[in-house]
């Protein structure tokens, strides 16, 4: 009897016995149907063809253990829907990973750029501090670098606290102006 006249059940029995012609007839009978379902659900013909191929490879590999509780067409349709869901979930996870990876790279790129800008700013601040008048620079360094209080600086340098305050005010004003100008040129 020609294979195209056999029922699905008869073809399944042949396939389970290792008959490749029975399997080929099942493939020829249903591949277009499940390809249409897969292509409709994924919107991607290449991906749909891969899904259909995986389903038929799995069908052949599991032929001896296969126990159908419904029709072959129903089994294949459910299989394709399940595979589409898996493929879409995988694609979605990949996209989330790609988005996260891109965001992480952007953050890394931004942090590197920010670090470089900070280093430039720190270098410029050092230059500006070095350009301060000697007493003014010394008062500033004792205050900011050594962490001395105004009273401690006055005692250390043998000057009044008011003089320390004046030197700090002058240093901060000069540094602020120089850094503002530097930042402005950096932003341009």
- 129's tokens: 């501090």
Q: What is the pLDDT along the chain (188 residues), one digit of tens a residue?
A: 677 787 888 888 888 888 888 888 888 888 898 888 888 888 888 888 998 898 889 889 988 887 777 788 888 888 888 888 888 777 776 666 666 666 656 555 566 666 677 778 788 888 888 899 988 988 988 888 888 899 999 988 899 999 999 999 999 999 888 888 877 776 66
- 96's tokens: 């989330």
CB-CB contact of 140 with 132 (8 Å): yes
Q: Please give the domain boundaries of the chain with CATH numbers for all domains.
A: 3-97 (1.10.1740.10), 132-187 (1.10.10.10)
What is the distance in angstroms between the CA of the first residue and the CA of the last residue of the chain?
84
How far lies 92's CA from each of 67, 98, 140, in Å? 32, 10, 57
Q: Name the pTM for this structure.
A: 0.48
**What distance lies between CA 41 and its chain's CA centroid?**
26
d(CA 174, CA 176) in angstroms, rounded, equals: 6
69 SS3 class: coil
């Amino acid at each position: 009897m020609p294979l195209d006249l056999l029922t699905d059940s008869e073809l399944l029995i042949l396939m389970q016995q290792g008959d490749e012609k029975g399997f080929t007839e099942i493939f020829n009978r249903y591949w277009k149907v499940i390809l249409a379902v897969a292509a409709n659900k994924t919107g991607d013909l290449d991906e749909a063809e891969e899904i259909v191929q995986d389903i038929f490879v799995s069908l052949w590999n599991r032929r001896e253990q296969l126990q159908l509780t419904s029709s072959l067409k129903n089994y294949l349709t459910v299989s394709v829907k399940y595979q589409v869901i898996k493929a879409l979930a995988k694609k979605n996870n990949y996209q989330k990973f790609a988005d996260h990876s891109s965001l992480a790279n952007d953050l890394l790129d931004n942090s590197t750029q920010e670090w470089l800008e900070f280093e430039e700013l720190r270098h410029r601040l050092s230059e500006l501090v070095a350009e301060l008048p000697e007493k003014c620079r010394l008062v500033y360094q004792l205050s900011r670098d050594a962490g001395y209080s105004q009273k401690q600086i006055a005692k250390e340098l043998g000057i009044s606290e008011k003089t320390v305050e004046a030197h700090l005010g002058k240093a901060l004003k000069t540094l602020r102006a120089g850094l503002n100008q530097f930042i402005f040129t950096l932003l341009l």
